[in-house]
Copies of this chain bind each other. A is one copy, B any other.
Amino acid sequence: MNKGRVTVVDIARAAGVSKSTVSLVLQASPLVNEATRAKVNAVIRELGYVYNRGAANLRQSASSKIIGIIVNDLTNSFFAELAVGMDMVMQSAGYVQFLSNSAESVDRQREVIASMREHGIAGLIISPARGTEAVDLKPLAASGIPVVAVVRNVVGAKVSTLFSDNYAGAKDAVRHLVSLGHSRIAFLGGIANTTVFAERVQGWRDALAEAGLAAPDTLVIGSTASRAGGVAAIERALSLQDAPTAALCFNDAAAFGVCDGLRAAGKEPGRDFGVVGFDDVIEAETAVPALTTVSVDPQGMGRRAAQLLLKQINAGRVEPEAIVGSVRLVVRQSCGAGEKTRRMSA
């Protein structure tokens, strides 16, 4: 009896109505008589019916309530939080999401996109793997599926985008370090060959220029955008003949690594060396010393991206839109300023 799943027809038979009526009940249509509705609902509960969304989506008019999310590195808590933000709004909008981790592999990403297409996603939010090309996203756009690219850019792709203002954020951070009296400020961590990296470095460079300070390439030390990368970068920075006294780090993960590296070298971050991160990951606040960082609120960004996508899905017409999320410097202790002035402002 548990063989085949329970369908509308089974319900109809058991309730003594037609499948059409059952369908109307399922859609909470006002056309159906209250008594009938009650009886049908009772039978539905009794037989343990589960709605088959796949079957419903078959009819050409219907759209699928499934959206795809692809991130390049879920183990990075920035992206994990981004995903959580999206999850929140998608869930309350009645969508489910295919979430996949491309792990920076363009091939894997391509497979995942294909698979998602076959499953009929209504839209896609993607933080593209390094090396993603416009052609990878073309077919989606061509079949009218809205795409929102977040965090990273895909040059030439006609999709909506939501980036944070990397340039302004980096500039603000460096200005702050300058105002604290630093004159040799490094840029540490991150993979050099990316747009985000370039934008942040440009902000760093321009802020230094503005202050009349030198911005030699030796002070830009790329590595990976991780804690380990931060350790490596600060080691190299400290070994320079004219070592920096502060640094803007590519992201918070790298900044934590820089703090670790400083301690390993006997220096206390915040006191002996100014450290500023980028992203404002949750741990930034509770770390010791608390990390001064450029806040981009990953969860909020995820929510906005999801809202943007939903808007496009509902609009029908796909009109690419570019949003740049504002950003603000959160001064805590690791830069050497926060702690002392924190309670003095009142």
The answer to whether the Cβ of A75 comes within 8 Å of any Cβ in the partner chain is yes
Closest to A50 in B: B117
Q: Do A231 and B60 contact each other (CB < 8 Å), given the known contacts A52-B118, A119-B96? A: no
| Interface of chain A residues 94 through 130 with chain B (CB within 8 A) | 94, 96-101, 103, 108, 111-112, 115-120
Closest to A115 in B: B96
The answer to whether the Cβ of A198 comes within 8 Å of any Cβ in the partner chain is no
Let me know if A260 and B231 touch, CB within 8 A.
no
Shortest CB-to-CB span from A231 to chain B, Å, is 6
Main secondary structure of the interface of A (DSSP, over half): helix
Interface mask (A209-241 → B, CB under 8 Å = 1, otherwise 0) = 000000000000000001110010000000000
Q: CB-CB < 8 A to A118: which residues of B?
A: 50-53
Q: CB-CB < 8 A to A5: which residues of B?
A: 60, 143
Let me know if A52 and B120 touch, CB within 8 A.
yes
Let me know if B58 and A55 touch, CB within 8 A.
yes
The answer to whether the Cβ of A280 comes within 8 Å of any Cβ in the partner chain is no
Q: Do A91 and B120 contact each other (CB < 8 Å), given the known contacts A257-B286, A288-B261? A: no
Interface mask (A228-269 → B, CB under 8 Å = 1, otherwise 0) = 100100000000000000000000000011011101100000
Shortest CB-to-CB span from A69 to chain B, Å, is 8
Q: CB-CB < 8 A to A52: which residues of B?
A: 118, 120
The answer to whether the Cβ of A139 comes within 8 Å of any Cβ in the partner chain is yes
Q: Do A139 and B87 contact each other (CB < 8 Å), given the known contacts A96-B98, A98-B96, A119-B54? A: no
Shortest CB-to-CB span from A251 to chain B, Å, is 14
Shortest CB-to-CB span from A191 to chain B, Å, is 17
A-B pairs, top 10 by smallest CB distance, nearest first, are: A260-B288, A99-B99, A80-B80, A54-B54, A228-B286, A53-B118, A227-B286, A51-B118, A87-B101, A263-B288
A residues contacting B by CB (< 8 A) are 2, 4-5, 48, 50-55, 57-58, 60, 64, 66, 74-75, 77, 80-81, 83-84, 87, 91, 94, 96-101, 103, 108, 111-112, 115-120, 139, 142-144, 226-228, 231, 256-257, 259-261, 263-264, 282-283, 286-288
